[in-house]
Amino acid sequence: MAHKVFIDGSEGTTGLQIHERLAGREDLEVIQIDPELRKDPAARAACLNAADVAFLCLPDAAAQESAALVTNPDTVVIDASTAHRMHPDWAYGLPELGAAFRERLTTANRIANIGCHAGAFLLGVTPLVAAGIIPTDTRMSCFSITGYSGGGKKMIAEFEAADRPATLNSPRLYALGLTHKHLPEMKQHSGLQHAPLFNPVVGCFRQGLAVTVPLHLPTLPGKPTVAAVHAALSAAYAGQTFVRVMPLGDPANLDGGFLDVQANNGTNRADVMVFGHDEQAEVVVRIDNLGKGASGSAVQCMNLRLGLDEMAGLTV
CATH code for the domain in which residue 131 is found: 3.30.360.10
Domain check: are 46 and 189 in the same one? no
CATH at 107: 3.40.50.720
Annotated catalytic, 116?
yes
- For position 28, what pLDDT does the model report? 98
**pTM strictly above 0.95:** yes
Do 55 and 73 sit in the same domain of this protein?
yes
Residues 6 or more apart whose CB falls under 8 angstroms from that of 73 comprise 109
| Structural domain boundaries enclosing 145 | 116-292
Residue 216 lies in a domain: yes
Is there a single domain that holds both residue 146 and residue 262?
yes
In a domain, 55, yes or no: yes
End-to-end CA distance of the chain: 27
For residues 194 and 281, state if they share a domain: yes
Catalytic option among 57, 116, 142, 301: 116
- Edge to edge, the sheet with strand 3-8 lists 28-31, 3-8, 53-56, 76-79, 110-112, 91-92
In a domain, 173, yes or no: yes
Q: 142 lies in a domain?
A: yes
Parallel/antiparallel/unpaired status of strands 3-8 and 110-112: unpaired
Q: What's the pLDDT score for residue 104?
A: 98
Query: Where are the extended beta strands (E) located within the chain?
Result: 3-8, 28-31, 53-56, 76-79, 91-92, 110-112, 141-146, 172-173, 197-202, 209-216, 243-245, 270-276, 280-287
233 and 177 share one domain: yes
In this structure, the answer to whether residues 250 and 284 fall within a common structural domain is yes
Asked, for residue 313, whether it belongs to a domain, the answer is: no
Answer whether residue 315 is part of any domain: no
The domain tally of the chain equals 2
- The predicted pLDDT at position 110 comes to 98
**Residue 38: predicted pLDDT:** 87
311 lies in some domain: no
Domain assignment of residue 33, yes or no: yes
Residues with Cβ within 8 Å of 181's Cβ and at least 6 positions away in sequence, in order, are 82, 115
Q: What is the pLDDT along the chain (316 residues), one digit of tens a residue?
A: 899 999 999 999 999 999 999 999 999 999 999 988 888 999 999 999 999 999 999 999 999 999 999 999 999 999 999 999 999 999 999 999 999 999 999 999 999 999 999 999 999 999 999 999 999 999 999 999 999 999 999 999 999 999 999 999 999 999 999 999 999 999 999 999 999 999 999 999 999 999 999 999 999 999 999 999 999 999 999 999 999 999 999 999 999 999 999 999 999 999 999 999 999 999 999 999 999 999 999 999 999 999 999 999 999 9
Neighbour-count burial for 55-72, b at 16+ CB within 10 Å, e otherwise: bbbbeeebbebbbebbeb
